[in-house]
Amino acid sequence: MMMSLVFLLGLSCTFYSGSTMLTAKSEPSIRQLLEKQQLKLTHLEFTLRHVLIKVLFLTDADVHAPRRLPPDPVLELSQRMNQLLQRLESEERAADILSRIEAKINASECEETTSNETLVDHKAKALANVTEQHEEKELPKLDPMQPAKADCYELEDATRRDGVYKFLVPELNEVGRDFNERFCAFTLDGPAWTVIQSRGPYQQQENFNRTWDEYRTGFGSLERDFWFGNEFIHKIVYRDDHMLRIELEDQDGARDWGEYAVFRLDSESYNYQLVIDGYQGSMPDALEYHNKMDFSTCDRRNDQSPRENVPCAVRFGSGWWFDRCQECNLNGIYPGSGGSGIIWADWRSGNYTLKTARMMIRPVRFAPATAEDTYDE
Ligand SMILES: *[C@@H]1O[C@H](CO)[C@@H](O)[C@H](O)[C@H]1NC(C)=O
Ligand SMILES: *[C@@H]1O[C@H](CO)[C@@H](O)[C@H](O)[C@H]1NC(C)=O
Ligand SMILES: *[C@@H]1O[C@H](CO)[C@@H](O)[C@H](O)[C@H]1NC(C)=O
Ligand SMILES: *[C@@H]1O[C@H](CO)[C@@H](O)[C@H](O)[C@H]1NC(C)=O
Ligand SMILES: *[C@@H]1O[C@H](CO)[C@@H](O)[C@H](O)[C@H]1NC(C)=O
């Protein structure tokens, strides 16, 4: 009995410190909600104490009447704890909804310059709209705010909506790009992938002829064409084994894809060297030629072409793992010509420049089991 009491007290401490953590993590702008939450948490703590007192009482009874079997206080408390945790979870959901409302209001404030409605009007409308939508209950729609999740692969399978998601809390790099804001893409099976590179037929094209520093920190809009950033990519794949998936589309809309079971990007001190292995796909593997190559940009030459030649990165106007120089280059000029475009050799002939290209990564351990795996052992 004493043992379980110590355990219970420990539990109550964990629970309480959990509540303070929640407060510190949230934004000051949702203070009102937090105050409400604080109240509820205090209330929950009271309830918990109540239960503890009851347990103490039962322990006492146990000592005085050893022959009588009391109801199992640990079981009762664990049921109670489950209830409390469920309530806490719903509180967190409420906080999430509120921050979405705020984001919506913020967004409508930005539109103010183009529209001629009053701010109040706009705010009221947005609020009404969000409230209305919230009342419609659990519509499967994209929820970009995912503070309880850390990466695309953790997204719920229910909605499978591609788009930009914000995980955890913002973690900005030196140019203000957020490590935890990611474009997530779902494929036919398995959890979502994190897109690290994207090209497409946008009217306003992002410039991919960028410096070493720009490729390091990332550039472009996650909603359109972008490079996620060598440092971010390295940071993700360094923690956990990752796969790489390449998706291509030609000018006629024909698509194909290939996957590498191994994808690593070394640190900056190793020039973000590329390591790939285990290719599978119906299109030819044009990236193998670039395997174990260092990254090059117009201002940093790490290619293997003769020194008297123009550096590959300058010639093809992009950062890439150039060798002598390329068999593929998804960062090329858009729309390029004479080999300087979006290239994937041997899938389409010669200097053919593709319409869209995407590179995406996912942890290996979350890849869906193949038939082979299932019958293994
Ligand atoms: C809304 O804007 C305010 C300041 O303008 C900012 O403090 C707050 O974080 C923004 N909220 C969201 C959810 O973007
Ligand atoms: C809004 O429209 C009114 C007339 O409809 C005009 O007088 C006013 O200048 C406009 N305001 C802005 C900010 O465009
Ligand atoms: C309400 O939201 C929907 C979908 O998000 C949008 O289509 C509609 O225009 C919004 N209405 C107002 C009044 O803002
Ligand atoms: C890329 O940028 C560098 C440096 O500004 C420039 O010298 C080079 O000509 C550019 N390459 C292309 C293909 O535009
Ligand atoms: C690609 O373009 C270059 C010119 O930049 C040319 O020398 C080369 O022959 C072309 N390759 C093919 C296969 O068309």
What pLDDT score does 213 carry? Answer: 98
Q: What is the mean pLDDT of residues 11-24?
A: 42
Amino acid at residue number 52: L
User: Which residue ranges make up each domain of the chain?
Assistant: 33-68, 70-113, 145-363
Ligand 3 centroid to Cα of residue 203, in Å, is: 27
Whole-number Cα distances in Å, 220 to 176, 207, 217, 224, 344: 12, 8, 11, 7, 22
- Mutate-to-test residue for ligand 3 from 129, 131, 134, 143, highest number of ligand atoms within 8 A of CB: 129
Question: What count of other Cβ atoms lies within 10 Å of the Cβ of residue 130?
Answer: 18
Q: What is the mean pLDDT of residues 28-40?
A: 71
Ligand 1: lining residues by beta carbon, under 6 Å: 27, 29, 99, 102-103, 106
% of the chain surpassing 70 pLDDT: 72
pLDDT at position 53 over 60: yes
Whole-number Cα distances in Å, 196 to 22, 45, 184, 262, 303: 31, 44, 9, 15, 22
% of the chain surpassing 90 pLDDT: 52
Q: What is the CATH number of domain 145-363?
A: 3.90.215.10
Helix, strand, or coil (residue 258): strand
pLDDT at position 100 over 60: yes
pLDDT tens-place string over residues 176-203: 999 999 999 999 888 999 999 999 999 9
pLDDT at position 74 over 80: no
Among candidates 377, 364, 372, which has minimal Cα distance to 190?
Answer: 364
**pLDDT band, residue 18 (cuts 50/70/90):** very low
Half-sphere exposure of 155 (CA within 13 A, CB side): 32
What pLDDT score does 226 carry? Answer: 98
Mean pLDDT, all residues of the chain: 80
What pLDDT score does 8 carry? Answer: 43
Strand-pair partners of 258: 246, 281
**Residue labelled with tokens 């052992």:** 377
Ligand 4: lining residues by beta carbon, under 6 Å: 209, 298, 314, 317, 333, 340
Of 104-118, 162-176, 231-245, least confident by mean pLDDT is 104-118
Q: What is the pTM of this model?
A: 0.59
pLDDT tens-place string over residues 125-140: 666 665 565 555 554 5
